[in-house]
Structure 1
Amino acid sequence: MGVNSVTLVGRAGRDPEVRYFESGSMVANLTMAVNRRSRDDEPDWFNLEIWGKQAQVAADYVKKGSLLGIIGSVKLDRWTDRNSGEERSKPVVRVDRLELLGSKRDNQEAAGSFGGQASDEEIPF
């Protein structure tokens, strides 16, 4: 039995790129930065692919810097490079569940700048 499950919490690296198809379906693609335990380490970056109603939510509410939680699975996208003719591939997380984390205010601030400090009123504990 194989298990292919990914759970991540991080920040959107850019606004979603949305494509619509004649069939009526849609897909949103974006990147997500996930911090490591040590603040000194660079974050890990993941390519996300979101389909259907979840893609519409991403298109409407996710902006660069938004705090997200996702559950999905890893797939390997493969293609042939048009210039070199070489086979290429990249891992992509196909998102099954998208959660918008943080407050509406947090998401608005993240879309504007990353420099804001939380006040005591915003801390949930």
Structure 2
Amino acid sequence: MNLVVLIGRLTRDPELKFGQSGKAYSKFSLAVDRPFSKGEADFINCVAFGKTAELIGEYLRKGKKVAINGKLQMNRYEVNGEKRTSYDVVVDTMEFIESRGGDNSSEFSAPTPSYAAPKAAEPPQGDFGSSSSFDEDEFPF
């Protein structure tokens, strides 16, 4: 089973972009506190697709606390002939937790506090570099 649940704060404003087909994707990073190490955090790269990506790009900014649910995905790629591997969390659902001030109130008037992308908008399974229905030129990362 591949299931990742994280609660953390965005380390920078999310990047909202659109692929050649017009499908939205958003890349961002979460700072997730380590439970028994005061002041230490892990920085987790995340990517969302479709309506979830649009929601993230519209409402989230650096410092916002969110909860995400998704799966861990390994990506292999080459840079200047050197093989590299990265790990990203592919976001299935996202929920707003609080504003940066910690007052647990929203700074916007979204109709619901969380959003789950429809199943049809899910990204392809497996390695981005494999020969699947995923077009490498569609999402440049």
Query: Normalising to structure 2: TM-score of the pair?
Result: 0.69
More helix by share: 1
Out of 45, 48, 51, the residue aligned to residue 49 of structure 2 is: 51
Q: Which residue of 2 aligns with 1:88?
A: 84
Out of 27, 30, 39, the residue aligned to residue 29 of structure 1 is: 27
SS at 2:34 equivalent: coil
Displacement after TM superposition at 1:77 (Å): 1.3
Overall identity of the aligned pairs, in %:
32
C-alpha distance in 2 between matches for 1:59 and 1:4: 25
AA of the residue aligned to 1:63: R
Displacement after TM superposition at 1:100 (Å): 1.3
Residue pairs, 1:1-125, within 5 angstroms: 3-82=1-80, 85-102=81-98, 106=99, 110=100, 122=103
Structure possessing the higher radius of gyration over alpha carbons: 1
AA of the residue aligned to 2:86: K
Could you list the per-position Cα deviations for residues 68-101 of structure 1 after superposition, in whole angstroms to 9, with x for gaps in the alignment? 100000001111012xx11101110000001111
Displacement after TM superposition at 1:41 (Å): 4.4
Query: Normalising to structure 1: TM-score of the pair?
Result: 0.77
C-alpha distance in 1 between matches for 2:64 and 2:27: 14
Displacement after TM superposition at 1:39 (Å): 5.0
SS at 1:93 equivalent: strand
Runs of 4+ in 1 over 3 A off after TM superposition: none
